[in-house]
């Protein structure tokens, strides 16, 4: 019997357009002999199954089912392709855990933790994972520019604490520009993180559950044409993503070890993509993504291709791992 797979995509954040692209790639790639795939759009105002004619059928949130032509369809597994909230921050994971429905991403706690940059870095610090100096602000806190600069220096990065894909991020060179950068980040989140600028080679490391093992994928080097790896660099082609990365074997071994350690310390499952910058010959962790982009141009699929893992195999394996948890 073919399994019914719900591919959830969209979401409530600024990343919904990228998520729809990722979800469509999964839908078009999954092996049709093994799976009945269904595109499920998750938005704040509607959860709907969208068929190939773009007709919409509402999802019953009580059991995450859908009725099509008087037939009730229930799903065996959920493929999570929602970047940002509610797919990457734990909400969908918690919902499916309550329904006892298998899903391809990590568990609720791991999703919530990794989505909160401040809490993630604080959790990993006792394990010796190196991170940039940082300063945290909640909405309404006074802005003490002298204290911020004393802690992180200039230039520095101002980021939304719980937002992905480089939304709400600024690189600040002068004290007088801090205020505007902080206001920009607060448009994305009510918590922000201000980080020391690390000047070094930036790499992205995919780590996945694959055939029952933790597999570190080939490393990608990020070379932004912009001042940093912002949204335009990430999604609009204004960067070079070089796989395998042009780094020494010593650097590669160090960052592979760190990425795998993080995956295993956090008891992760599914896909992850961790970003690092090398400083003084050591990898410093920037963030961990648990629902990375899945378009053909995205970093994780590039890495899988370099590892001779086809997209069909990558996505099919994620479903089988979820079903056999």
pLDDT (tens digit, 9 = 90+) per residue, 232-286? 444 455 678 999 999 999 999 999 999 999 999 999 999 999 999 999 999 999 9
Q: At what angle do helices 108-115 and 91-99 cross, to 10 degrees?
A: 180
Give yes or no for residue 61 having a pLDDT over 60.
Answer: yes
Could you give the CA distance from residue 175 to residue 123 in angstroms, rounded to a whole number?
Answer: 30
Give residue 233's pLDDT: 44
Give yes or no for residue 102 having a pLDDT over 70.
Answer: yes
Give residue 224's pLDDT: 75
Nearest in space to 78 (alpha carbons), one of 96, 55, 66, 60: 96
Q: What is the mean pLDDT of residues 194-208?
A: 95
Q: What is the mean pLDDT of residues 174-201?
A: 94
Give yes or no for residue 180 having a pLDDT over 50.
Answer: yes
Residue 276, strand partner residues: 203, 285
Residue-averaged pLDDT of the chain: 93
Q: What is the mean pLDDT of residues 73-78?
A: 98
For the CA atoms of the chain, what is the radius of gyration?
20
- Write the DSSP string, 63-123: TTEEEETTEEEE-SEEEE---STTTSSSHHHHHHHHHT--BSS--HHHHHHHHSHHHHHHH
Q: What is the mean pLDDT of residues 170-194?
A: 93
pLDDT digits (tens, 9 = 90+) for 296-324: 889 999 999 999 999 999 999 999 999 99
pLDDT digits (tens, 9 = 90+) for 125-164: 999 999 999 999 999 999 999 999 999 999 999 999 986 5
3-state SS assignment for residue 309: coil
Give residue 297's pLDDT: 85
Give yes or no for residue 231 having a pLDDT over 60.
Answer: no
Give yes or no for residue 230 having a pLDDT over 60.
Answer: no
pLDDT band with cut points at 50, 70 and 90 for residue 325? confident
Place of tokens 């997209």: 311
Give residue 229's pLDDT: 46
Residue-level length of the chain: 325
Nearest in space to 171 (alpha carbons), one of 157, 182, 159: 157
The separation between CA 2 and the C-alpha centre of its own chain, rounded to angstroms, equals 29
Give yes or no for residue 117 having a pLDDT over 80.
Answer: yes
H-helix or E-strand containing 316?
Answer: helix 311-323
Give residue 15's pLDDT: 87
CB atoms within 10 A of CB 302: 19
pLDDT band with cut points at 50, 70 and 90 for residue 226? low
Q: What is the mean pLDDT of residues 82-105?
A: 97
Give residue 237's pLDDT: 54
pLDDT band with cut points at 50, 70 and 90 for residue 70? very high
For 134-139, the CB contacts below 8 A with 24+ separation are 134/193, 134/194, 134/195, 134/196, 135/193, 135/194, 135/195, 136/161, 136/191, 136/192, 136/193, 136/194, 137/182, 137/191, 137/192, 137/193, 137/194, 138/190, 138/191, 139/186, 139/190, 139/191
More confident residue, 320 or 224: 320
Percentage, residues of the chain above pLDDT 90: 89
Give yes or no for residue 94 having a pLDDT over 60.
Answer: yes
DSSP character at residue 131: B
Give residue 238's pLDDT: 61
Q: What is the mean pLDDT of residues 182-187?
A: 93
């Amino acid at each position: 019997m073919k399994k019914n797979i719900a591919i959830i995509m969209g979401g409530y954040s600024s990343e919904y357009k990228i998520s729809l692209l990722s979800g469509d790639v999964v839908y078009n790639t999954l092996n049709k002999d093994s799976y009945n795939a269904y595109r499920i759009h998750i938005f704040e105002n509607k959860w709907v199954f969208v068929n190939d004619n773009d007709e919409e059928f509402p999802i019953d949130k009580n059991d995450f089912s859908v009725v099509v032509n008087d037939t009730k369809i229930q799903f065996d597994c959920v493929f999570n392709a929602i970047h940002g909230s509610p797919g990457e921050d734990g909400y969908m994971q918690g919902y499916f855990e309550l329904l006892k429905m298998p899903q391809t991403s990590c568990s609720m706690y791991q999703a919530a933790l990794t989505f909160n940059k401040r809490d993630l870095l604080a959790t990993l610090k006792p394990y010796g994972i190196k991170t940039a100096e940082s300063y945290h602000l909640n909405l309404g806190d006074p802005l003490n520019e002298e204290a911020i600069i004393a802690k992180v220096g200039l230039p520095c990065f101002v980021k939304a604490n719980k937002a992905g894909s480089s939304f709400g991020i600024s690189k600040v060179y002068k004290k007088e520009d801090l205020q505007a950068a902080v206001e920009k980040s607060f448009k994305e989140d009510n918590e922000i993180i201000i980080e020391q600028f690390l000047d070094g080679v930036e790499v992205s490391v995919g780590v996945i559950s694959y055939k029952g093992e933790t597999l570190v994928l080939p490393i990608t080097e990020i070379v932004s044409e912009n001042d940093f790896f912002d949204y335009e660099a990430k999604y609009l082609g204004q960067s070079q993503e070089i796989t395998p990365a042009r780094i020494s074997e010593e650097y590669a071994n160090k960052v592979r070890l760190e990425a795998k350690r993080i995956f295993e310390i956090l008891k992760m499952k599914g896909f992850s993509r961790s970003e690092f910058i090398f400083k003084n010959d050591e990898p410093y962790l920037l963030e961990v993504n648990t629902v990375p982009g899945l378009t053909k141009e995205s970093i994780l699929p590039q890495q899988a291709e370099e590892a001779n893992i086809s997209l069909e195999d990558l996505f099919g394996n994620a479903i089988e791992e979820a079903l056999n948890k």
